Structure 1
Amino acid sequence: MSGSELGLAEAVSMALGGMIGGGIYAVLGVVAGITGPATWFAFVVAGLVAACGAYSYTVLNGVDDAHQGGSVSFVQRFVGNSTLAGMTGWTLLVGYVGSMAMYAFAFGEFTVALDAVPDSVAAVPLRPLVSVAAVAGFVGLNLVGARATGVVENVLVAAKVMVLVAFGLGGIVYATSSGSTTISLGADQLPTFGPVIAAAVSFVAFQGWQLLFYDQESFEDPSDTIGRAVAIAIPAAVVVYVLVAVATVTLAPQAVTKHPHTALVKAAGNILAPVGLSAVGYVGLTLSALVSTGSAINATLFSAGYFARGLVQNDLLPDRVGASSESGAPKRMLVILGVVTAAFAASGSLGAITSFASLAFIVVFGGASYLAFRERGRDAVHPVPPALGVVGTSAFFPLLLYHLYRAEPQTLTAVVGIGVAVVAVELLYFERDVIESEVATIEHRLQDGEHPLDD
């Protein structure tokens, strides 16, 4: 595909699809469970911080043509530390795994929400099996090289956005005109930490735009096109999230409490109930959720595979995960990503998986904002957005950990444990030459009869 084939419309479609594709279906229930009617405000806050991170990506991307391509390239260019660049790349891969697990979990939840699908088979819960099967299916599609064309992607994204906007606007109109329902915006919660904590949890829902930076060769004038696309896509995603959040929390408050993960489809059924089409609304939005979360798994896996290939080519991942000479995404890496994703989706809770993925992207986007703020002396860099990005992510990180400590202490233990293990493995890999040199020095001293710690 030549660069001229992808312009601003395609870039906006890809960025918006990366966010709305599965984000709203996966995180809405989790966020609503934390902050209730103020869910809309949580999405606004998360979107604002994500927009600051996107601005930082855009300006850093335009500084040096030789170091375009996202966080890893930015660290290499502006910090000059290969170890830190590699750790950034690994952290992004962890975030992609969390994102895919989140989408797969939601895919399973919406599947078993259909009346025709049982919750369990032979006393075995069906949701984890469906999630694993979904991941396996999309890994298989990527292994054989199947991918939707740009036109198909545009149509799918447009359809998903239209369904959600129609649902949001229709729900608000129905609530205001029925007289029996009052729209609550949770004004009493806005001055509290609740919406900010919820914003931190939902941060993963705003990460899809940065995948554009790893596919720049597909765009004509990539710096300008991608920057404009991101500037359009993030506010558009915020608007959609706000409309859907207000409609869902207003029309299905009990479902938000009892069945938060599928409350959105319950609200859709309530909208069409007066005309006897409740089942149509329920099934229609459920099918939309399945298409959205499924396509989100596929798109993220495809992009993560190509991102991993770049890490292998730059010696930031071992060759064992895939040969850098492969024409597409390393097949072995696709399988590894799929296996880890399936394990997370099958064993974790949606809240835990969402928080885990959000933490990864908070760290990476916060780092990009910091790098952009350091370059504030350049004419192209305005200091305010990067500064807000640093402040926002710096607040999100401890608040999200605090939320896990209070709500899911076992998840916090697991997240910290996984984080420590990942960092340890990263340091062992990227500092392997230094470690090998030190070990060799100690061995020589022992052979010479010297104390290994003597200078």
Structure 2
Amino acid sequence: MSGRSGLGLTEAVSMALGGMIGGGIYAVLGVVTGITGATTWFAFLLAGVVALCAGYSYVKLNEMADQNGGSVTFVQHFTGNSTLAGMVGWTLLFGYVGSMAMYAFAFAEFGLTLPGVPDSVAGLPLRPVVSVLVVAAFVGLNLLGARATGSAENVLVGLKVAILVAFGLAGLAYGYAVSPEPTRYGFSGLTSFGPVMAAAVSFVAFQGWQLLFYDQEGIEDARPTIRKAVYVSIPAAVLVYVLVGVVTFNLAPEAIQSNPHTALTDAAARVGGVVGLAGAGALLVSLSALFSTGSAINATLFSAGYFAKGMLSKDLLPDRVGDSSASGVPRRTLLVLGAITAAFSAVGSLGVITNFASVSFIVVFGAMSFLAFRHRDHADVHPAPAVVGTVGAAGFLVLLSYHLYTSTPSTFYLMLLLAAAVVTVELLYFERDVLEEEVETLEERALDTL
């Protein structure tokens, strides 16, 4: 099924690549490097392989489905279970909120590295304040209907990728030609669980491509275009992440230990220092991070708003969240998503936010891979990628849980409580008719006994 004349392959790749590189590398690099050190590049490679297999599963499910859509549509079409589809949708919404909070956290961290910007004012830390303000700003922009066009997105994504690639190549050249220490790749650590656990944490950096499935009406020759965009954008993101991971670990080892969230700026300063432009190099990367994380908030908020609107139209979200008949994204939906994101970014740590978002996407991407595997006999679905996507996601979930339990048990228990609360609320909402019938039956029995 083809969509009307709209975005072509170049724009689709830009959207997918921008959704991944737009803020993920700036937000998760420090967390991932802190876990696995020199094998950071391998962690990104593992996560990318599982994400690509999940992308294959999405593409095949999209080709089999009788209507355009993403995860929620796939579950409804192939299982006929609206409750399960709604729970998948809610999980994704929480993942998008976690992603936006992660971007807002990183935006503030890099903003505070700019010359002359203090860490606090009158004893009040500025990081949470800046995070909340940037979320509020982009909620306001979306309320006004601001959105980059496809051509503008091409330019913006091209600039972001070009800065990171230039930084990576210059860093490699510095490491081999100038640095007195050899470049380390951590090959001896490839057989340990460290890179796999780090891959699970980094998984959130590979979300964004699936947003293409929610706006297929605006993409020319939607299904073949999306298929090509997925298969191009995910490997491209892997290459950028691997390059930046190797360079940052080798050029800024002290910064990774002391201030991992902004270690990229220290690495860029070291590269720029070779030609007397240390400050300019750090400033360029910081500005790029601000721009990238800000645009990622904007794009994710826009897409999540439309995703929520689709769920509202299917009665998979309460009416109080927004009006599905509204033109564009319902204002109330944007305000609700923005408020939850702002609160999360203000009170959460980057590690908690990153893990929370990663768990959401691990669960959903793994479920879609399993769904594709189940239908391997009914369509042209090769079982290998679907199995890798399913088993990889399941393994990531187990290892991520183990990592949290052993390193930060408070975070582990907090996420368990949050997951239990979310599932409880989902069941109360989706099974409300059954619960009302049960309550009425109990009331009738009670009255009969009087």
Looking at structure 2, the residues matched to 417 and 250 of structure 1 have their Cα atoms a distance apart, in angstroms, of 38
- Per the alignment, in what secondary structure is the counterpart of residue 87 of structure 2? helix
Whether 1:245 aligns to 2:237 is no
- Per the alignment, in what secondary structure is the counterpart of residue 192 of structure 2? coil
Q: Which residue of 2 aligns with 1:376?
A: 376
1:409 to partner: Cα distance: 1.5
Looking at structure 1, the residues matched to 380 and 232 of structure 2 have their Cα atoms a distance apart, in angstroms, of 19
Q: Which residue of 2 aligns with 1:268?
A: 268
- Per the alignment, in what secondary structure is the counterpart of residue 62 of structure 1? helix
1:181 to partner: Cα distance: 2.8
- Per the alignment, in what secondary structure is the counterpart of residue 112 of structure 2? helix
Mapped contact 1:96–1:357 kept (Cα < 8 A) = yes
Q: Which residue of 2 aligns with 1:415?
A: 415
Q: Which residue of 2 aligns with 1:89?
A: 89
- Per the alignment, in what secondary structure is the counterpart of residue 326 of structure 2? coil
- Per the alignment, in what secondary structure is the counterpart of residue 3 of structure 1? coil
Q: After superposition, where does 1:294-443 map in structure 2 within 5 Å?
A: 294-443=294-443
Q: Which amino acid aligns with 2:213?
A: F
Looking at structure 1, the residues matched to 89 and 414 of structure 2 have their Cα atoms a distance apart, in angstroms, of 21
Q: Which residue of 1 aligns with 2:55?
A: 54
Whether 1:35 aligns to 2:28 is no
- Per the alignment, in what secondary structure is the counterpart of residue 368 of structure 1? helix
Mapped contact 1:202–1:358 kept (Cα < 8 A) = yes
Looking at structure 2, the residues matched to 406 and 112 of structure 1 have their Cα atoms a distance apart, in angstroms, of 31
Looking at structure 2, the residues matched to 331 and 420 of structure 1 have their Cα atoms a distance apart, in angstroms, of 29
1:327 to partner: Cα distance: 0.8
Looking at structure 1, the residues matched to 6 and 211 of structure 2 have their Cα atoms a distance apart, in angstroms, of 18
Q: Which amino acid aligns with 1:249?
A: F
Gapped regions of structure 2 (runs ≥ 5)? none
Looking at structure 2, the residues matched to 444 and 265 of structure 1 have their Cα atoms a distance apart, in angstroms, of 68
1:379 to partner: Cα distance: 3.8
Q: Which amino acid aligns with 2:39?
A: A
- Per the alignment, in what secondary structure is the counterpart of residue 64 of structure 2? coil
Cα deviation, 1:399-449, whole Å, max 9, x if unaligned, reads 111111122211112111111111000000000010111111111112222
Q: Which residue of 1 aligns with 2:199?
A: 199
Mapped contact 1:181–1:251 kept (Cα < 8 A) = no
Looking at structure 2, the residues matched to 406 and 307 of structure 1 have their Cα atoms a distance apart, in angstroms, of 35
Looking at structure 2, the residues matched to 120 and 312 of structure 1 have their Cα atoms a distance apart, in angstroms, of 41
Q: Which amino acid aligns with 2:59?
A: T
Q: Which residue of 1 aligns with 2:19?
A: 18
Mapped contact 2:65–2:74 kept (Cα < 8 A) = no
Cα deviation, 1:111-152, whole Å, max 9, x if unaligned, reads 111121000000000111000000000011111111111111
Looking at structure 1, the residues matched to 304 and 4 of structure 2 have their Cα atoms a distance apart, in angstroms, of 21
Identity %: 64
Looking at structure 1, the residues matched to 325 and 171 of structure 2 have their Cα atoms a distance apart, in angstroms, of 51
1:3 to partner: Cα distance: 3.3
- Per the alignment, in what secondary structure is the counterpart of residue 236 of structure 1? helix
1:179 to partner: Cα distance: 4.7
Q: After superposition, where does 1:277-292 map in structure 2 within 5 Å?
A: 277-292=277-292
What is the count of residue pairs matched by the alignment? 448
Looking at structure 2, the residues matched to 82 and 65 of structure 1 have their Cα atoms a distance apart, in angstroms, of 16
Q: Which amino acid aligns with 1:443?
A: E
Gapped regions of structure 1 (runs ≥ 5)? 451-455
Q: Which amino acid aligns with 2:233?
A: A
Indicate the RMSD between aligned Cα atoms, in angstroms: 1.0
Looking at structure 2, the residues matched to 446 and 407 of structure 1 have their Cα atoms a distance apart, in angstroms, of 51
Q: Which residue of 1 aligns with 2:77?
A: 77
Mapped contact 2:17–2:209 kept (Cα < 8 A) = yes
Mapped contact 2:64–2:379 kept (Cα < 8 A) = no
